[in-house]
């Protein structure tokens, strides 16, 4: 029989692969200024430090590191991670599971919770990769309305009453793709609604430490009474995405289901990578490293905002206090997907906003990343975009 007769699983019917990752391939051309992607700056990647730590951990615990590990995590890391997470959140957490990047945290949480057709509430726009994850679990995605500071609790409550969702997926701090940060008051309200109605919150918070202005706010998890909030964290933005180390923290019963799911997903997260991050925590190397990252990223963000201030009237954009992204809305007559082709011809790339929208549309929007370009590239690239937009008006 010819292989063209093969039928793939139903879960792929509405999924064709992450558009953002396809864009990555196009922009790999030399000389391209990329405001696409969410990559850390090369300067921020501590290759020498990781090499030193790899040598250290392999010399001290090499046999255990190269052997099979427990699905629950590499024991020293499990210990340092739990106390790190509790420090970060300001509350104790019943359980923590190290995972292969926080993308895996989302995958395992979906595996633990979702049957096909279950309703999941999402921000609109939201992180593409996790929207794809939800689609592969055949979730019924329902967008919740937002204003300038993020999710609207009134609309959230209405959607909860109407759809009885299993899960809310939210990125409350320096959101991807908008850069918005939810206020403390709304975070408390979300935690209350989740506990009142019985809905799991997946609080995805990978950008938390990348704050260049303003004051830290408590997590949604901080206001959780009965354990309905699961906190998803990552070391991708503050150490290295290539190491693939993240975690999920919260209720022990849910973590247990995630652990059983992980047994047949990848058995355990690579020990060497867990051991390296463990050393970052034990040696308290993160505060200084994060301080130096934030210094550079803050300059780049302000630079990009300065250029946006010079864009034509009718272009609106967010003013984040941290993170990696700025969100822009062009006049409705301009299609950011079409504009991208012209920008790429002039060696500038970004991600059109429509790809982040669960309901499509929003063709006049785009996401700009500032972390992975030099100040000079930001100047050149933003001038190109300004030109292109001027000529479309």
- Report the C-alpha gap between 123 and 142 in whole angstroms: 9
Contact status: 284 vs a second copy (CB under 8 A): no
Instruction: Pick between residue 43 and residue 154 the one whose CB is nearest to a second copy.
Output: 43
Q: How many residues bind a second copy (CB under 8 A)?
A: 91
Nearer to a second copy, 278 or 318 (CB): 278
- Report in angstroms how near the CB of residue 132 gets to a second copy at its nearest: 5
Q: Segment near a second copy (CB under 8 A), from 39-47, 305-313, 358-366, 382-390? A: 39-47
**CB atoms near residue 180 (< 10 Å):** 25
Of 5-24, binders to a second copy (CB under 8 A) are: 5-6, 8-12, 15-18, 21, 24
Give the 3-state secondary structure of 326-382.
EEEECCCCCCHHHHHHHHHHCCEECEEHHHHCCCCCCCCEEEEECCCCCHHHHHHHH
Residue 91 interacting with a second copy (CB under 8 A): no
Query: What is the CB-side half-sphere exposure of residue 170 using CA atoms within 13 A?
Result: 31
Residue 45 vs 337, nearer CB to a second copy: 45
Site for a second copy in 197-216 (CB under 8 A): 197-198, 200
Residues 131-170 that bind a second copy (CB under 8 A): 132-133, 136
- 93 touches a second copy (CB under 8 A): no
Q: Which 295-324 positions form the footprint of a second copy (CB under 8 A)? A: none
* Residue 46 or 331 having the CB closest to a second copy: 46
Residue 191: CB minimum distance to a second copy, A: 13
d(CA 191, CA 199): 9
Beta strands in the chain (DSSP E): 33-34, 95-99, 119-123, 140-144, 146-147, 150-151, 167-170, 200-204, 229-234, 246-250, 316-317, 325-329, 348-349, 351-352, 365-369
Tell whether residue 267 is a contact of a second copy (CB under 8 A). Answer: yes
Q: How far is the CB of 192 from a second copy (least distance, A)?
A: 11
Closest C-alpha to 231, from 214, 218, 248: 248
Give the footprint of a second copy on residues 46-65 (CB under 8 A). Answer: 46-48, 50-51, 54-55, 58-59, 62-65
Q: Which is nearer to a second copy, 219 or 240 (CB)?
A: 240
Task: Pick from 154, 158, 213, 266 the residue near a second copy by CB under 8 A.
Answer: 266
Q: How far is the CB of 271 from a second copy (least distance, A)?
A: 4
Between 195 and 386, CB nearer to a second copy: 195
- DSSP-assigned beta bridge partners for residue 348: 33
Q: How far is the CB of 295 from a second copy (least distance, A)?
A: 19
Q: Supply the minimum distance, in Å, between the C-beta of residue 332 and a second copy.
A: 31
Residue 129 interacts with a second copy (CB under 8 A): yes or no: yes
Could you say which residues in the range 230-259 bind a second copy, by CB under 8 A?
Answer: 236, 240-244, 251, 253-254, 256-257, 259
Could you give the C-alpha distances from 3 to 7, 8, 10, 12, 16, in angstroms and in order? 9, 11, 17, 18, 19
**Of 306, 383, 303, 391, nearest in space to 346 by CA:** 383
CB of 18 to a second copy, least distance (A): 5
Picking from 93, 291, 298, 318, the residue whose alpha carbon sits closest to that of residue 209 is: 291
- The least CB distance from residue 340 to a second copy, in Å, is 20
Tell me how far, at minimum, the Cβ of 74 lies from a second copy, in Å.
Answer: 9
Residues 98-117 touching a second copy, rule: CB under 8 A, are 100-101, 103-104, 106-107, 111-115
255/257 Cα distance (integer angstroms): 5
Q: Residue 22, exposed/middle/buried by CB under 10 A (0-12, 13-18, 19+)?
A: exposed
How many angstroms separate the CA atoms of 207 and 175, rounded?
8
Coil/strand/helix, residue 199: coil
């Amino acid at each position: 029989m010819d292989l063209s007769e093969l039928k793939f699983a139903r879960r792929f019917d509405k999924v064709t692969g992450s558009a953002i990752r396809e864009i990555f391939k196009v922009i790999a051309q030399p000389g391209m200024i990329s405001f696409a992607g969410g990559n850390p700056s090369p300067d921020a990647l501590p290759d020498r430090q990781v090499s030193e730590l790899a040598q250290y951990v392999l010399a001290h615990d090499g046999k255990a590191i190269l052997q099979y590990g427990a699905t629950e995590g590499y024991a020293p890391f499990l210990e340092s991670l739990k106390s790190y997470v509790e420090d970060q959140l300001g509350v104790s957490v019943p359980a923590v599971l190290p995972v292969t990047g926080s993308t895996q945290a989302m995958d395992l949480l979906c595996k633990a919770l979702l049957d096909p057709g279950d309703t999941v509430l999402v921000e609109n726009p939201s992180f593409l990769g996790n929207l794809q994850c939800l689609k592969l679990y055949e979730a019924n995605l329902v967008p919740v309305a937002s204003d300038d500071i993020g999710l609207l609790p009134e609309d959230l409550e209405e959607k909860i009453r109407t759809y009885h969702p299993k899960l809310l997926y939210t990125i409350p701090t320096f959101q991807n793709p908008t850069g918005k940060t939810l206020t403390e008051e709304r975070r408390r309200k979300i935690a209350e609604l989740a506990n009142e109605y019985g809905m799991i919150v997946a609080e995805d918070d990978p950008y938390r430490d990348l704050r260049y202005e303003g004051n830290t706010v408590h997590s949604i998890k901080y206001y959780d009474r009965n354990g309905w909030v699961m906190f998803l964290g990552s070391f991708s933005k503050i150490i290295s995405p290539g190491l693939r180390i993240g975690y999920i923290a919260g209720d022990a019963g849910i973590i247990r289901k995630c652990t059983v799911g992980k047994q047949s997903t990848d058995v355990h997260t690579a020990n060497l990578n867990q051991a390296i991050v463990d050393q970052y925590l034990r040696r308290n190397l993160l505060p200084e490293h994060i301080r130096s990252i934030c210094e550079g990223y803050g300059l780049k963000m302000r630079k990009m905002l300065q250029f946006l201030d010079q864009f034509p009237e009718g272009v609106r954009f967010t003013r984040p206090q941290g993170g990696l992204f700025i969100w822009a809305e062009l006049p409705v007559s301009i299609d950011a997907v079409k504009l991208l082709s012209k920008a790429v011809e002039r060696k500038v790339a970004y991600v059109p906003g429509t790809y982040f929208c669960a309901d499509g549309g929003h063709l006049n929007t785009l996401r700009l990343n500032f972390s992975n370009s030099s100040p000079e590239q930001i100047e050149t690239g933003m001038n190109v975009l300004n030109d292109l937009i001027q000529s479309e008006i």
